[in-house]
Amino acid sequence: MTENKTTTALAWIFMLLTGFLPMIIWREYILRTSQTLQPGTGIFWFQVGGCLVFLAATFFWKAAQPLRKFFLLWLGILVVDGWLHSLVSNSHLWQSWFGGKGWSMGMFGEQLLRLAVSLVMIALLTILGFKRPDYFLVKGQLDAPAERVRWLGMKADEPWTKFGRTFAILISIGLIVFLVLGTRPTAQQLLTGLPFLPIAVIFAAMNAFSEEMTYRSALLAPLDVGTVKNTVVSKQNALWITALLFGFGHFYGVPYGWIGVAMASFLGYILGKSMLETRRFAWAWFIHILQDIIIFTPMAIGVVAAGGG
């Protein structure tokens, strides 16, 4: 089945209207210039309402039908990782366990919640009829060819065992340079962060699994780009839709702002590419872990904060 241009356009419109972009526009360009509007949950309900409208369209618009599971899974992420996550993390009981007890305990609590969200997404994928190979939690082929991307300077296809290692090194160096130039840590601060490195590795592994499962595997799976007979959107559209969604979600993360969006989108594209080409979760998880280790270690000593705060 060839790609339907209307279906592809709907997927893009859905991502832009119900993803993180409206929240950025609301906070950065409307609230900050208004003297009367107050922060609230309006954007969340705008996102949920948008999802429901698109879902309703799948029952009477043929071009929207192939995207029904994609819409459902994003709605699930909004509700579970947006609303329920916040509800639990702000509860008195959760705060009594993890709140105000230092970075390690706070991060441990956060990663437990993120892991729970990813497990809920696996359950939802299973309910919707997806098997583990559909969302890449299988052995796969680690040395599968990384298809040439001209704008990356690739002259030909090359094994992921080569491309993955090279990219992991280069993107890690780029992130380190960004953080060093942005924070200018002293030698003493860097030494202070070293004892946090082992626990940062553990948290990085948890966070990378959760984010890759929730925001990449679970969203690439319903686009069915792995099977020619069920192609919903093209490989490139699937990669950029999920990559930009991931990128917008990092506007208030580390790195932050529009530079953070660009860096996270680029990373998201490559990590999604690794899943589609190797049919495996491993390369995305490994590369993501390295980035989180670089971020979490200075966060532990307060040198780096999400959103630049």
250 touches 256 (CB < 8 A): yes
Residue 204 scores a pLDDT above 90: yes
Residue 303 scores a pLDDT above 50: yes
Q: How far apart are alpha carbons 123 and 76 in whole angstroms? A: 11
Higher pLDDT, 302 or 151: 151
Higher pLDDT, 255 or 159: 159
User: According to the model, what pLDDT value does residue 191 have?
Assistant: 81
Average pLDDT, the chain: 89
- The average pLDDT across 138-145 equals 88
Confidence of residue 213 (pLDDT cuts 50, 70, 90): very high
21 touches 53 (CB < 8 A): no
Per-residue pLDDT of 73-102, as tens digits, reads 999 999 999 889 989 999 999 999 998 888
Confidence of residue 301 (pLDDT cuts 50, 70, 90): confident
For the whole prediction, is pTM greater than 0.85?
yes
User: According to the model, what pLDDT value does residue 228 have?
Assistant: 44
Tokens found for residue 281: 């979760």
Per-residue pLDDT of 67-77, as tens digits, reads 999 999 999 99
Residue 229 scores a pLDDT above 60: no
Residue 123: CA count within 13 A, CB half-sphere: 9
The one-letter amino acid at 39: P
Among 33-37, 254-258, 277-281, the minimum mean pLDDT is found in 33-37
- The average pLDDT across 50-69 equals 96
User: According to the model, what pLDDT value does residue 162 have?
Assistant: 95
Residue 171 scores a pLDDT above 80: yes
Residue 288 scores a pLDDT above 70: yes
Quick one: which of 43, 41, 75 has its CA closest to 56? Answer: 75
Q: How far apart are alpha carbons 22 and 82 in whole angstroms? A: 14
Higher pLDDT, 273 or 181: 273
Segment holding 146, helix H or strand E? strand 145-146
Tokens found for residue 102: 């230092």
Higher pLDDT, 148 or 191: 148
